Structure 1
Amino acid sequence: MNRLPIIPTFLVALAVATMIGLGIWQLQRKEEKDTLLSRYESAVGLPAVAWPKVPDPAALPLFRRSSLLCAHVVKIETVSGSNAAGKAGFAHVASCRTDTGEGPDAKVAFGWSERPQSPVWGGGAVQGIIAPDGAQLIKLVSTDAVDGLDILAEPSPSQIPNNHLLYAIQWFIFAAAATIIYILALRKRSKVL
């Protein structure tokens, strides 16, 4: 009678348990993301909010209409983006000061172009929709045309991916594959002995 090798079996069982745990965690994350996306979907039709000077990471007013005064443009960046018709091109995003304080305290995506031109924009009053931003948590995507530029595509909760179910399935497949490979290795080992 062949005995199971203790240390390899323990290590494989630990790895499989970890992969199953990660799969369950991804399923929990999917539920959290579904709730968050539902909240964002319901925010689309709500009344406008004041631009938050200091955004609360736990309660970002994403996909709400807002406005601000870009009193001074600190810099303009060009990134990939789409226009209102869905055509790919370049979004122009300004870092703005909204008052006389130091440093930029708001980002404004103010227009789209087909080419990565360097537009000149002096700021001013902007109306738009609050969207996620990697650096400053939020930015205002203008819903008005700026001279020489097209209107950007409106931000939408549907643009936020929710891949957690696929990640969970991936972890469960890894766990199943590790188990099958280990069982096959044990069978081969028992035939050799």
Structure 2
Amino acid sequence: MRRVPVVATITVALAVATMIALGLWQLLIRLPEKEAELALLASNPARPVIAFPTRADDRLLFRRATLDCAAPVTIARAGAGSAGYRLIATCAGGQFVQLGTIRSPTGTTGWPGGSVTGRISHAPDARPLIATLFDHSPKPLLLVADTPAPGLAPNAVPDISSVPNNHLAYAVQWFVFATIALVIYALAMRRRRRG
């Protein structure tokens, strides 16, 4: 009978322990945190209107806010799926306002600026996906206007359905990976014993 390979056994044991720990972290820590965050966000639309925040704070998502966007610096386009394009104004103070949507890729609005009331959401993020893995700074916020600017269609109302909660799936995934690693190890040991 051949000896158990020590290095391989220790490597597999450490890998399986790490995967189980990650699964438990997702299940016991991240999932309750996310559920508490979602409960807060679900209550935000019913809270009183506030001034648009000067700092990014995800706890304010979907809350109604007001902003005086006098003399917008630029009005840019961002994809809006089947609605066409979102027109997003950058205010002189650096805040973003989603003015409405338009089907034409060259369409614009003559919005001169002014007071806007709407819901807080995330501004489009042009960073590559790989950059977001290493940059954990808060995403910038924008105000999604309740009333569209002249010549634009109304914005879709941002809501909690856009916030993913995948932590249970992540936990199951880590447990499945640990099980697969153990099965592969068991099969390799069985084959080793048979010579």
Aligned equivalents of 2:121, 2:104: Cα separation in 1:
23
Ranges in structure 1 where 5+ consecutive residues have no aligned partner:
99-103
Secondary structure of the 2:67 match is strand
CA-to-aligned-CA distance 1:60-119 (integer Å, 9 cap, x gap)? 42211111111121222211226xxxx532111111124xxxxx2x11011011232341
> In the alignment, which residue of structure 1 is the partner of 2:191?
188
Q: Structure 1 residue 134: deviation in Å?
A: 5.7
Are 1:107 and 2:101 counterparts? no
- Which structure has more helix as a fraction of its residues? 2
Amino acid at match of 1:113: I
> In the alignment, which residue of structure 2 is the partner of 1:33?
34
> In the alignment, which residue of structure 2 is the partner of 1:126?
116
Q: How many residues align?
A: 180
Q: Structure 1 residue 168: deviation in Å?
A: 1.3
CA-to-aligned-CA distance 1:12-56 (integer Å, 9 cap, x gap)? 11111111111122222121111101100011111101122234x
Normalized against structure 2, the TM-score is what? Answer: 0.85
Pick closer, same or farther for the CA change 1:128–1:25 going to 2, 3 Å. same
Secondary structure of the 2:117 match is strand
Secondary structure of the 1:44 match is helix
Aligned equivalents of 2:33, 2:104: Cα separation in 1:
38
Aligned equivalents of 1:179, 1:171: Cα separation in 2:
12
CA-to-aligned-CA distance 1:132-175 (integer Å, 9 cap, x gap)? 23665311000102111111101101111111111111111111
Aligned equivalents of 2:105, 2:26: Cα separation in 1:
38
Amino acid at match of 1:6: V
Q: 2:143 aligns with which of 121, 140, 152?
A: 140
- Which structure has more strand as a fraction of its residues? 1
> In the alignment, which residue of structure 1 is the partner of 2:131?
none
Secondary structure of the 2:73 match is strand
Normalized against structure 1, the TM-score is what? Answer: 0.86
Secondary structure of the 1:115 match is coil
Identity of aligned residues (%): 41
Are 1:96 and 2:86 counterparts? no
> In the alignment, which residue of structure 2 is the partner of 1:43?
44
Ranges in structure 2 where 5+ consecutive residues have no aligned partner:
126-138
Amino acid at match of 1:179: L
Q: 1:89, 1:114 within 8 Å by CA — same for their partners in 2?
A: yes
